[in-house]
Structure 1
Amino acid sequence: MLAATLPRPPLPADVRLTQLTAHAVAAVAVLALCAAAAAWAARQPVFAVRSIRIEGDVHRNSVSTIRANAAPKLAGNFFTLDLARARAAFESVPWVRRAVVQRVWPDRLRVHLEEHRPAALWVDDNGNDRLVNTHGEVFEANVGDVEDESLPRLAGPEGTAAQMLSMARLLQPVLAPLDEGDLQQLALSGRGSWRVVLEGGITLELGRGTEADVIDRTQRFVRTIAQVTGHYQRPLLFADLRHPDGYAVRMKGITTIVPAAPARRK
């Protein structure tokens, strides 16, 4: 006759809790040990970054110059390198607008660069000339490295470079029929008034308003100024387009600008 196997009585609740706690502590300890081992392994010289491949725009700087400027700022190995800081290191190199940094197994970095393309000069009140790229962003670089001597000079409040570059691009074809050369300087006052100086020396006060307002006002001036200069047979020196029903001009030896009345004596 077989004896029946009696089921074991359940363990007390406090014993079960102790066992679960012990298992959890053991699991955490194993995970911590694995993490520490992985961190230790990742810091070993075998995982050092051994080469950096530079791609993209490298017209203003040689690859060796870019490496020499950025490499000392890179900290860590293949696993521990902070890619955001690495990107900032490459973007701190003169003429570099944007950098994309990627890891390439097992020990390389791939860096794709986009360079600034100068579209204008930015002139501030301190005489510290900077450059404006084709995106309307002001950046620091050696102005003497720019081969294009016809870049317009922009002068205006900080943060308006993109707006001013857009206006310069709109004005250039409008002013071309004057046959006075390229737009040499474009200024924007703190009150939003525009002024243009052309390569031939003519200064135009364009006044305030939206882009459409300023362009429309300038187009009307360009269409009619030849009749004025042709009548007087004198070269144009200055024009003030801020009048609601026309404009005032100053030609060599002739002016239609009314001088300000002298202050009355008390």
Structure 2
Amino acid sequence: MVAFAAPAPAPLPGDVRLMHSTANAVFVIAGLALAAAAVLWVTRLPFFALKSIRIEGEVARNSISTIRANAAPKLAGNFFTLDLQKTRSAFETVPWVRHAVVRRVWPDRLAVRLEEHHPAALWAAEDGNDKLVNSQGEVFEANVGDVEDEALPRLAGPEGSAAAMLALYRRLQPVLVRLDEGDIDELHLSGRGSWRAELENGAVVEMGRGSDDEVLARTERFVRTLAQVTSRYQRPLEYADLRHPDGYAVRLKGVTTTVPAAPARRK
């Protein structure tokens, strides 16, 4: 018995193979497009509309209703289409809100955790309208009247210097308070980098330029030795200039250093 092998099928012409490949690709793309359209249609169903916003975290400066009223009109989309980055920004524009973390809660809720600004100082703005400085040294806008009872110091300096000024204030305050002239009421930094502190009783201390450590060292020396100067007069401090290389100059309230004129000779 003799076996005969079947002849191999002839290969398809190149244009036919290309047509088959193109058709397959079209079917795949069409299928993906239909699937995407279906997903998009489902995500836009009213069932997925946001129905509640849960506020968590710090809400001492704002009521939850006020936060919702300020942020909600800026939100667009449903559970799936809501832009979380834009939503976070919407909540961070609410007064006193420093940072917001936003997350979706299936199937129709939004959870927002807030961090508020903690005021540490007032900031003397160039336009004359004071702003606030938080505990991180960031300048922010809020109703200054909300902190009138908190006795915050006032910082005045070049734009962008708030964090550095707050840092030095925190080091100077426990030193200058030992003068018994009250807390630092205002701290100034000039455009040339010279520091000046105004105390609660009106006394002014010129501390000059230099690094924070240098300014602090001059102030420490001044506070440590001032009693030796004032003990004989028993008068409160009015002005001190620490910018001298080998010492400092002071002016006390009610004490004059004017030399009286010599009496005229009789002719």
- TM-score normalised to the size of structure 2? 0.92
Q: Please say if residues 53 and 111 of structure 1, whose CA atoms lie closer than 8 Å, have aligned partners that are also in contact.
A: yes
Instruction: Give the drift of 1:8.
Output: 1.2
3-state DSSP of counterpart to 2:37: helix
Instruction: Give the drift of 1:3.
Output: 6.3
* Cα separation, 1, equivalents of 2:83 and 2:187: 42
Q: Please say if residues 119 and 132 of structure 1, whose CA atoms lie closer than 8 Å, have aligned partners that are also in contact.
A: yes
Instruction: Give the drift of 1:44.
Output: 1.7
- TM-score normalised to the size of structure 1? 0.93
3-state DSSP of counterpart to 2:185: strand
Q: Percent identity?
A: 69
Instruction: Give the drift of 1:254.
Output: 3.4
Aligned 1:48-59 pairs, distance under 5 A: 48-59=49-60
Q: Please say if residues 101 and 109 of structure 1, whose CA atoms lie closer than 8 Å, have aligned partners that are also in contact.
A: yes
What is the alpha-carbon root mean square deviation over aligned residues?
Answer: 1.5
* Cα separation, 1, equivalents of 2:157 and 2:148: 24
Identify unmatched segments of 5+ residues in structure 1. Answer: 258-266
Q: What letter is aligned with 1:135?
A: Q
* Cα separation, 1, equivalents of 2:207 and 2:224: 15
Instruction: Give the drift of 1:23.
Output: 0.4
Aligned 1:194-209 pairs, distance under 5 A: 194-209=195-210
Q: Please say if residues 155 and 187 of structure 1, whose CA atoms lie closer than 8 Å, have aligned partners that are also in contact.
A: yes
Aligned 1:143-222 pairs, distance under 5 A: 143-146=144-147, 148-222=149-223
The count of residues paired between Structure 1 and Structure 2 equals 257
Q: What letter is aligned with 1:153?
A: R
Task: Tell me whether 1:242 sits opposite 2:243 in the alignment.
Answer: yes
* Cα separation, 2, equivalents of 1:130 and 1:226: 37
3-state DSSP of counterpart to 1:254: coil
Instruction: Give the drift of 1:207.
Output: 0.3
Structure 1 window deviating more from structure 2 (4-13 vs 98-107): it is: 4-13
Structure 1 window deviating more from structure 2 (129-138 vs 231-240): it is: 231-240
* Deviation sequence 1:117-152 (CA, Å, 0-9, x none): 000000123211110000000000001111543210
Instruction: Give the drift of 1:252.
Output: 2.1
Identify unmatched segments of 5+ residues in structure 2. Answer: 259-267
* Deviation sequence 1:7-63 (CA, Å, 0-9, x none): 211111221111001100110111011111211221121110111110000111111
3-state DSSP of counterpart to 2:73: helix
